[in-house]
Structure 1
Amino acid sequence: MEVQRNTYLTKIINRMHNGMIKVITGIRRSGKSYLLLTLFRKHLHKIGVREDHILVMEFDRFENRQYRDPYVLLDYLKKQITDDGDYYILLDEVQMLHNFEEVLNSLMRESNLDIYVTGSNSKFLSKDILTEFRGRGDEIHIFPLSFQEYMQVYDGDLYHGWAEYVMYGGLPFVITLKTDEQKVQYLTSLIRETYIKDIVERNTIEKQQELEDLLNMLASSIGALTNPLKIEATFKSRMHSSISDNTISKYIGYLKEAFMINEAQRYDVKGRKYIGSPVKYYFEDIGLRNARLDFRQVEETHLMENVIYNELRMRGYNVDVGNVNKRYTDKETGSKLTKNLEIDFVANLGSKRFYIQSAYKMPDAEKIKQEKASLLAINDSFKKIIVVKDVIKPFQDEDGILTIGLFDFLQNSDSLEW
């Protein structure tokens, strides 16, 4: 089973020989090693790079443990580099290499070396890369499988594929498991024994239960506006905990750094400015989110919203929650009032912008009116889109709003341009 992760492979190819260390990051088990050591390596062979000019080191292999010593590794690489031709250095799980930052900075001084690394767990996060490589690290962030990638290898139709995807998420190994029991056990164990432990160890968290309770709260409220003060109040009222909003802010930061959750800020469309707190949180993998709640709260409406958010991020967009004020006249009093309306997503990429509503169903005129209200209140010319779960033929109405089915949106990477 081979998933063609062309989006990320293209990003790597476009960075070849750019004079920087290409750093592939992402949540644990998202497919970083497969992307580098299988897909990119195949590309190198395809363009005629000789095998002896592709130097691979997998530091997590037991037989390679001696190369975790920087002196041993550098001596090995030096012996393999026998001419002035271009060499490609592929280092997997580089955080296991002692003093890896200094080793990589040393290798960068050689003009004929093009360096690519993957890293994971508590010792290798985005902010570490930015700090240690001082502008010489070029990060490529990889997400779990998109629905389109998932369906490349799923043995079934779109509807059953969606049911599996929205329940168990897109971590590549999950799709190889045969039974629901295996998938539940894998995801539950992974989040408990790997992700949480990494965060606790890295940040020397003493009160692990509070971190886990916070994770449960965020998992239960995906797509809902919240902030540390609100969460603090919930801790006090429900759990009689004295955890402070400052500690909650730190813990949320740790979860974001570990790629478990992402934050969508509120953006005032008319005022063209960020509003600040409260914000929304979405999970990078919905299977892990569901596992955190023991698969008890699987509300498809909210999960669909999370999937759309992730899809936009995978396509390279910066994604915010939109806010727009609409003025109207009260029919009874004649008073001028202002109503605050929310746009699920404001997606920006360079000069492009899209306003997107996630609507599970639009069964009648009243629901259609409700979903369109915030989009109609926007007075600029950027494209406005409603994504519905229903299977429909994409159409643009008299207000210029495009309505598109969820599967068409997810299966076609150019769907926003229709």
Structure 2
Amino acid sequence: MEFKREQYLQKLVNRMHNGLIKVVTGIRRCGKSYLLFNIFSKYLQGLGVSSEHIISMAFDIRQNKQYRSADMLLEYIDSKIVDKDMYYIILDEVQMLEDFEEVLNTLLHRNNVDVYVTGSNSRFLSKDILTEFRGRGDEVHIYPLTFKEYLEGYNGDMYHAWADYIVYGGLPLVALMKTEEQKVNYLQSLFSTTYLRDIVDRYGISKTQEMENLIDILASSIGSLTNPPKIEATFKSVLKSTVSMNTIRQYIEYLEDAFVINKTLRYNVKGRKYIGTPVKYYFEDIGLRNARLGFRQVEENHLMENIIYNELRSRGYAVDIGIIDTRVLTEDGKMGRKQLEIDFVANLGSKRYYIQSAFSMPDEAKLVQEKASLLKLDDSFKKIIVVKDVVKVTCDENGITTMSIFDFLLKENSLEL
């Protein structure tokens, strides 16, 4: 079974021959290497590119250890380039190559090479990686499988697929595993021996328990507003541990740089400005989040919100939390201020969507609650409520669309339904 990853293949195709290094980033085990070595290479061959003009090197393979030397690799590449036709250079785990920044910048000066690289440790996955290439890098970020992609390899209906997806997430290898035991063991081992170990080794973290406790706190509060002072208070009151706010901030940055978590800022829609802390954090892969907590806190409503966030990001949208200031009558008869929240404000170019994640709306009171913030908007951008229930897509007299999570995730034009 092969996941096609068509949207990422198209992104690579769109960047061919642009004179930049194509830097494929993403959380470990999300399919970066497979995309380049298999899917993209097959595409090139389909265009008529001969295998001799595709120069591939995986530096994590022992047989290729000698080519981790910058001079040895450049000599090898020179020996393969025997004419003036275009050559496609694909380098995997490039962080294992000595002086890899110099090597890549050297390759950029050659007229007949098109360079694609990927890496899998926290140093290479750092968000500031493109600065290593002096502004000549072009990033393609890969996410774990979306629910639509997950269904490609699922043997069953979409309802059972959803039940598995919200627990085990979208890492391709996990999606292909046959038993729950395999998935549980793999995800738990992967988090501790790969993701956490990368961060600890890179930054020389000695107090690893503090980092692990922080991950647990963030995993337990996905979709909830938080900030370093609040997390510090949790360390003191719940864990009986003292850790400085500076350390908390640093550790959160490390997790963000490794793409384990993503931070979402609050945006005052009417004031058109960003608000500082608190913020919300979402996990790049739900399965890893659940594994970190021993699969004990699988609250479908919170996980659905995280999945909607990841879906929007995978479609290329910048995502914020919407805030609307409004005036309300208080219990003592005076006018006061209240902030209403919109779960997601999704922006892409001139497009904007306001989206509420409402797991269920069992009664009128819940419906009124979910629509309250959307009704306060006075612009013409589309307003959407996503529910877990299988419902017909409807649009009410106020222009608010309600749709099922399945329509939202599975229909390519779901934001325009």
Distance 1:52 1:320 in 2: 46
C-alpha displacement at 1:123, in angstroms? 2.8
| Partner Cα distance (1:220, 1:127) in 2 | 25
Tell me the equivalent position of 2:85.
Answer: 85
Aligned residue identity for 2:26: G
Alpha-carbon distance, 1:221 to partner: 0.3
Q: Secondary structure at the match of 1:239?
A: coil
Residue aligning to 2:273: 273
Q: By how many angstroms is 1:404 displaced? A: 0.8
Shift of 1:401: 0.4
Cα offsets for 1:181-222 (capped at 9, x unmatched)? 111000000001111010001111111000000000000000
- The runs of 5 or more residues in structure 1 that have no matched partner are none
Deviation track 1:305-357 (CA, whole Å, cap 9, x = no partner) reads: 00000000000011011110222345x75432322111000101111110000
Tell me, yes or no, if structure 1 residue 335 matches structure 2 residue 326: no
Q: Which residue of 2 aligns with 1:400?
A: 399
The question of 1:109 aligning with 2:100 is answered: no
Identity score, percent: 64
Q: Match of 1:179, as an amino acid?
A: T
Alignment partners' CA distance in 1, 2:309 and 2:289: 14
Question: What are the ranges of 5 or more consecutive residues in structure 2 without an aligned counterpart?
Answer: none
| Equivalent residue number for residue 343 of structure 2 | 344
* TM-score, L = length of structure 2: 0.98
Shift of 1:370: 0.8
In structure 2, distance between residues paired with 1:220 and 1:252: 15
- Residues 70-117 of structure 1: per-residue CA shift (max 9 Å, x gap): 111111111110111111001111111111111111111101100001
1:69 counterpart residue number: 69
Name the count of aligned residue pairs: 417
| 1:185 aligned partner | 185
1-structure distance, mates of 2:95, 2:328: 58
Q: CA deviation at 1:139?
A: 0.8
**Contact in 2 for aligned 1:265/1:321 (Cα 8 Å):** yes
Name the residue aligned to 1:142: 142
In structure 2, distance between residues paired with 1:333 and 1:77 = 77
Q: Is the 8 A contact 1:325 1:377 kept in 2?
A: no
Q: For 2:44 and 2:131, how far apart are their aligned partners in 1?
A: 30
Separation (CA, whole Å) in 2 of partners of 1:226 and 1:287: 22
- Give 1:128 deviation, angstroms: 4.6
Shift of 1:240: 2.3
Aligned letter for 1:364? D
Flag the 1:128–1:333 CA change in 2: closer, same or farther, 3 A: closer
In structure 1, the residue matched to 2:167 is: 167
Please list every run of at least 4 consecutive aligned residues from structure 1 whose deviation after the TM superposition is greater than 3 angstroms: none
Deviating more after overlay: 246-255 vs 230-239 = 230-239
Which residue in the other structure is 2:353 paired with?
A: 354
Encode CA deviations 1:357-384: one digit per residue, 9 max, x unaligned. Answer: 0000111211111100010011111110
The DSSP-based 3-state class of the residue aligned with 2:241 is coil
Q: Work out the CA distance in 1 between the residues paired with 2:206 and 2:272.
A: 41
For residues 301-340 of structure 1, the aligned pairs below 5 Å read 301-330=301-330, 334-340=333-339
For 2:390, the equivalent position in structure 1 comes to: 391
Q: Aligned residue for 1:372?
A: 371
Contact 1:68 1:98 in 2 (8 A): yes
3-state SS in 2 of match to 1:353: strand
How much does 1:237 deviate? 1.3
Aligned partners of 1:59 and 1:97 also within 8 Å: yes
Q: Is the 8 A contact 2:122 2:257 kept in 1?
A: no
Work out whether residues 144 and 171 of structure 1, in 8 Å CA contact, stay in contact via their aligned partners in 2. yes
Kept in 2: contact 1:87–1:113 (CA 8 A): yes
SS at match of 1:202: helix
Corresponding residue SS for 1:123: helix
Residue in structure 1 matched with residue 213 of structure 2 by the alignment? 213
The C-alpha deviation readout for 1:140-184, integer Å capped at 9, x for no partner, is 110110001000111110010001000000000001211111110
- Residue 228 of structure 1 is matched in structure 2 by 228
- Show the counterpart of 2:155: 155
